[in-house]
Amino acid sequence: MDNDVSAGSATSTSTLGHLALGLTLLAFGVGHTGVIDNVAAADASALATWVGGVALFIVGLLEFRAGNAGTGTAFSGLGAFWFTWGTAVGAEVSTEAAGLFLLLWALLALTLTASSAGSGLFGQGVYGLLCVSLLLLGIASFAESGGLAKAGGWVGAVAGLAAWYGATAALAKWPTFSGRAAGRGVTATG
């Protein structure tokens, strides 16, 4: 009897990671927009902690195990971000500390954007939009600007939709914006 446990295929773990990232980003972004009554970004903290944090971090580790350092770094790093953000919601911190937190994590998103050059809309696009969202939210925190925070929320929601669509396209073999249908040698990232 074989006691080895498979980490799953790279496509399945990558798709799961993009779904987790997409749903978390969408909830986080919509919460910042104020578009739904009585729903704030803080309401996404449980989703951010468990889906965006723990699940995404585990998927990142599985990606590392499968030899995919790029997606392993992305999912593990973003899992750490979401877990930290989700568990810190409600903590007493200054607006400057919150802004600095967001700007520092925007650096991770910038690194992910640069490292995913050539991966198409669902790789570089999602990370680029995440970077812009975190920059806007960080600056909004420093400036105490609700309008800028809403703009950052909308950018985050669009990033979440893009990540969700990329993962869904990979599972459903829907067309991607690369001109090919996902599932024919094309992953959720392009």
Q: What is the DSSP string of 135-149?
A: HHHHHHHHHT-HHHH
Instruction: Give the CATH number for residue 165.
Output: 1.25.40.600
- Indicate the angle between helix axes 56-65 and 10-33, nearest 10 degrees: 150
Helix count and strand count (H, E) for the chain: 7, 0
Torsions phi, psi for 175 (to 5 deg):
-65, 145
* 180 in a structural domain: no
* 58 in a structural domain: yes
pLDDT of residue 177: 66
From first to last of its 190 residues, what are the pLDDT tens digits of the chain? 333 434 444 467 889 999 999 999 999 999 999 999 999 999 999 999 999 999 999 999 999 999 999 999 999 999 999 999 999 988 899 999 999 999 999 999 999 999 988 777 677 999 999 999 999 999 999 999 999 999 999 999 999 999 999 899 989 988 876 544 455 444 444 4
Would the pTM count as exceeding 0.75?
A: yes
What residues form DSSP beta bridges with 181? 175
Can you tell me the distance from the alpha carbon of 82 to that of 57, in angstroms, rounded to the nearest whole number? 9
Write out the two tokens for 68.
């995919």
The Cα angle at residue 172 between residues 61 and 17, in degrees rounded to 5: 15
The number of distinct structural domains making up the chain is 1
pLDDT of residue 12: 78
* 38 in a structural domain: yes
* 185 in a structural domain: no
For the chain, the C-alpha Rg in angstroms (whole number) is 16
Closest CA to 130 of 108, 166, 159, 170: 159
Give the chain's end-to-end CA distance (angstroms, integer): 38
Range of the domain at 17: 10-172
Write out the two tokens for 65.
């195990």
Q: Which residues contact 69 (CB under 8 A, 6 or more apart)?
A: none
pLDDT of residue 178: 58
pLDDT of residue 128: 96
pLDDT of residue 157: 97
* 142 in a structural domain: yes
